[in-house]
Chain A
């Protein structure tokens, strides 16, 4: 469904203001309840035994001694879950609990529920697992070789070229035009190979849940997730129960960034709850989060770009090879789709591959697949600009995608904001500020699709004139405020008269996972629709009271007014006045809407960064950072800026220090915040933001979605800045000090 931009809607009263979030007080006083903050009477504590081997056949699991320990109430293994019909579900389940083969260091092998955390931990040591250790493969290029250790021997994957190696699980191609002719037109062609490390979303809240299954077989689950309907559907299938029998409540969520868009521990907690007949709490340690949740892919990419001397890109090619761990995934497709999305190209081709490795199953991470793909393209364009002495923003403007451009991944763009964003960057004082010695300025573009999908909203008009909105998308960064604002805007009432909550899976209809920067767009749209539905009823009730035709009533400034020949005949009736007498005019007043949208608007960002590199240590300091991004319409600008800033800083971490480091034994070397180095406050300057508003034609207020684009440009922006500051270009992320220093020394 596409809901057209409301062209008349320019005089916003609530939308566009900086509103305080409704859940804020609880979060600054410690009252907010996150995943690990819930408990139940008689609750057991669970712990998971994890494989110490990157690849091993599980020959036997002897649970006798563990079960004999006082306080141990249940042990589960893969045998306690229902076989799945589809490969996607079976893979997801097998990742939660290894079935026959442990596929990575940290893969769950068995789980225990006991009367205290300490007993559960002790019981883990009493589980006897017999492994047959198998050869393993960690690197994407190594995994793609025909002689690499095979993860799922004999398994057939769809849509692969005939001669694909056994670990190749996914393949795709995008593009258009005559590549040979394109490269023939170029004055200069650069071809480079890049590598990026696997990174983790690094949410501060470890996964945690509390599961109960009663004697009647009905279950309740409290969990920190980006999508409780997703959790319900997976868990019901894995446990072998009907969806209606499992109610899932989303707790407050302590960050996700895509990492909580699947299940890891929830099915395990439910299986233990069923087996023990007691509530079971299961929380991950930080080490478990790093070893056994879903980091993003690592990549190995070849890029080739041709350009004319005056800066017109004639052809672009990228071959992207991703590994996303031990199970198939299509993140490489999003990489292949986004790599050249910012450019209007006559000839473009991208090829994506996924290979299986003995690493944890990847999960989404903010604009999944895009940052590492766009990094390679933006770095090569930058190198071309340096060689030809062209202004990097001017070259991007010259080649920028605009309305009517056939995108590299197929569709033709409608109204988009790339040109405006680039022009804003060009005009900004940051772009012309002077630089000192060992300093450099980097620039890069970024792109994300933004998703639409399904969402359910119910909006009830209370008899005192306040409004209760119930929606089905966990609020991960302030969306309850935006939803309340849109409801208030539409109804014409003050923001503080609306309370929005996230309902459990029984409270409201299905909603997709909170991902793809979709919530403000699609839940907002559904809220507007639900409000319009309620307004229609409010007008009907006023008409009834006035004894006029319902069509002759309009809604303006929070009140029903007679219109047409009745105009001025009756004094307006406010929402509160109509609500107060609703029981006499036909009963409760509410609106609801179930959206299934495809009108999401793509968004572009441009980042400018100044860096300084210490030539004697290879240390990089971020001196200044400015984000320019098209929000479509910024409903709550504070939180739009917050998304832009947070994304930029995650990208900075990815560029400079963050990486999964595996030893020669295939075990993760840095499963903690000490050595998985996310940026700390003292690493950074203020992150300046410039919000552009080029309305999305597919949303009544023009909303595009802002959550993900911000993480895309920093990888290349920082790399391009470092190349200027250190006078040497790196082709691998992270650009950790040892790598930069080695490159500087190597260039001497």
Chain B
């Protein structure tokens, strides 16, 4: 196995492009090292991207924030302005693993690991986050929603690297939230999850909404139709009940050691309802 720690993105792309075997991009390493240790992957090449300019930065940009691919969850947590703009995304990332894992794990890594249960992904999808990708053919952008292709699979092409994720600016009276269900209070993988982002008008009426569910399908579910039913409401009890049932209806989960189909379906709806209420209050709504 080869380990490289290039200083430029061009070098990193070249290394990956020339590699004929299995390769892994290393940022926080909290998934890659587990794959190595459990022999889930035996890479021929590891490219550490932490030393490339910009990878460890959180930058304000057009009212939003650009988060470098090697920024850790702990660094996001400590960034007050980011946390204030997108509290749901930050709290979703903060739920990944332990404090120790937070010291290393990254938003981009959580996305690229392509687990259906990745905590940050439903929150990013609800936030309409966009990834910037650089590869042998140049740079492109892609909505976070379109990155996961299935468990452990992404739509990234050979030698492409996500260099940053952009969380956009948002109107006044907006809020987001992310909730997941785990059997313990920490250290588990999400059994079901929901991210919700809302914008209200001056009268507490929802004007824009995004709802995404995690761990209930092979990839994150973005439920635009469901979200639309929130628009024009004040999240009254009927609306919330409908949100819960339509979210549950959209689930296509599996039975496994972490939960059953019935459990995931039921709790995904419950979490969507609860996350919507939190997002509503964060957006300035009163309940």
Contacts and interface: CB of A to CB of B under 8 A. Distances in A.
Interface of A: 287, 616-619, 656-657, 661, 669-670, 673-675, 677, 679-680, 682-683, 736-738, 741-742, 745
16 contacts: A616-B266, A616-B267, A656-B183, A657-B183, A661-B257, A670-B257, A675-B257, A675-B258, A677-B183, A683-B186, A737-B183, A737-B263, A738-B260, A738-B262, A741-B263, A745-B262
A145 B172 CA distance: 68
A673 B256 CA distance: 16
Contacts of B181: 617, 619, 737
Contact of B38 (A287, A618, A619, A670): A287
Contacts of B260: 738, 742
Given A287-B38, A737-B181, A741-B266, A682 B186 contact: yes
B100 interface: no
B191 to A, nearest CB: 8
B168 interface: no
Nearest to A620: B183
A616 B188 contact: no
Contacts of B20: none
A679 B184 contact: yes
Contacts of B258: 675
Contacts of B270: 616-617
B187 interface: yes
B188 A617 contact: no
B188 A674 contact: yes
Contact of A674 (B189, B262, B267): B189
B259 interface: yes
Interface in B159-190: 181, 183-189
Contacts of B187: 673-674, 677, 680
A736 B183 contact: yes
A80 B189 CA distance: 43
B183 to A, nearest CB: 5
Contacts of B186: 680, 682-683
Interface string B247-283: 0000000001111101100110010000000000000
Contacts of B259: 737-738
Contacts of B256: 669
A617 B267 contact: yes
A617 B179 CA distance: 12
Contacts of A674: 187-189
Nearest to B192: A617
B102 to A, nearest CB: 14
Given A657-B183, A675-B258, A738 B263 contact: yes
B267 A682 contact: no
A657 B260 CA distance: 14
Contacts of A670: 257
Q: How large is the interface on B (under 10, 10 to 19, 20 to 34, 35 or more residues)?
A: 20 to 34
B185 A680 contact: yes
A619 B267 CA distance: 11
Contact of A669 (B38, B191, B257, B263): B257
B85 to A, nearest CB: 27
A677 B189 CA distance: 11
Interface string B202-245: 00000000000000000000000000000000000000000000
Contacts of B263: 618, 737-738, 741-742
Nearest to B255: A738
A680 B262 contact: no
Nearest to A618: B263
Contact of A742 (B183, B189, B191, B262): B262
A625 to B, nearest CB: 15
A680 B98 CA distance: 11
A325 B89 CA distance: 46
A287 B260 CA distance: 24
Contacts of A736: 183
A670 B259 CA distance: 13
A434 B263 CA distance: 31
- 4 tightest CB-CB pairs across the interface, nearest first? A738-B263, A682-B185, A669-B257, A616-B270
Contacts of A745: 262, 266
Nearest to B187: A680
Interface in B2-32: none
A484 B262 CA distance: 57
Contacts of B257: 661, 669-670, 675
Contacts of A617: 181, 267, 270
Interface string B113-137: 0000000000000000000000000
Contacts of A669: 256-257
Contacts of A661: 257
Given A619-B181, A738-B259, A741-B266, 4 more contacts: A677-B183, A683-B185, A737-B263, A741-B267
Interface string B26-53: 0000000000001000000000000000
Contacts of A657: 183-184
A284 to B, nearest CB: 14
A670 B257 CA distance: 7
Nearest to B39: A121
A617 B270 CA distance: 8
B188 A677 contact: yes
